[in-house]
Amino acid sequence: MLIFLLLMLQLRFSPANSATRNRLAGEVVPVSAVQSRTRDGDEDKYGGLRATDLDLNNFSLTEYGSDGTWLKLILDQVHCVKEVVLYYSSGNPWLTFTCSQTECSCVDEFCKYLTLTVYSERIVADNLPLVSECKYGDTVKIQKNGGGSLGLREISITEKQGRITTDSELES
């Protein structure tokens, strides 16, 4: 918990720089974002899309809400999400969540502070092939485990590229 608090302080007080992040190959750009409760109600300064605008100078920031602390990124359609990366203000990766057909997991010691889920909230994802190396969904939700605020500098969401190989094709 102390380390997470230190990260929040680093996010809030890091010196301004002109750093930007480049879009990755296969990166999915969210069309909108919803947070549990935006800090000071200031969407322009702390809104959810601040975490996907490629600008490492700003970030999304929530306040604790009655339903917890979370950020939902809404995608344009159902995608087969392969990986979600959270970044430091330097542009270096902080946490990487790798998705399978059932969940997205992370192996860093700080992963215990966050839960990341990919699911379909608006679009029914029927008749899609079973794929073991990605998770289908139109929504990515990052939930902070425990109380307090959630500040995220930059997030990338990448989908599986190329032809999707089904699990049954892998077995044959």
As a whole number, mean pLDDT of residues 55-60 equals: 94
- The H or E element spanning position 34 is strand 32-35
3-state secondary structure of 118: strand
Instruction: Give the closest residue to 127 by CA, choosing from 73, 75, 74, 78.
Output: 78
| Distance in angstroms (rounded) separating the CA atoms of residues 25 and 168 | 27
- Residue with the larger pLDDT of the pair 127 and 51: 51
Across the chain, what does the average pLDDT equal?
85
3-state secondary structure of 160: coil
Instruction: Give the global pTM.
Output: 0.82
Predicted confidence band of residue 52 (pLDDT cuts 50, 70, 90): very high
pLDDT of 131: 81
Predicted confidence band of residue 148 (pLDDT cuts 50, 70, 90): confident
As a whole number, mean pLDDT of residues 95-101 equals: 95
pLDDT of 62: 93
Residue 169 has pLDDT above 60, yes or no: no
- Cβ neighbours, 10 Å, residue 44: 8
Residue 13 has pLDDT above 90, yes or no: no
Residue 162 has pLDDT above 90, yes or no: no
Residue 3, phi then psi, degrees to nearest 5:
-65, -40
Would you say 56 and 17 are in contact if contact means Cβ atoms under 8 Å apart? yes
As a whole number, mean pLDDT of residues 116-134 equals: 83
Instruction: Give the closest residue to 56 by CA, choosing from 142, 148, 156.
Output: 156
Which residues have CB under 8 Å from 148's CB, separation 6+? 4, 5, 8, 64, 69
Would you say 51 and 39 are in contact if contact means Cβ atoms under 8 Å apart? no
Residue 25 has pLDDT above 50, yes or no: yes
Q: Please list the helix, strand and coil fractions of the chain in percent, rounded to the nearest 5, in that order.
A: 20, 40, 40
pLDDT of 125: 63
Would you say 155 and 73 are in contact if contact means Cβ atoms under 8 Å apart? yes
Predicted confidence band of residue 35 (pLDDT cuts 50, 70, 90): very high
Residues paired with 155 in a beta bridge: 86
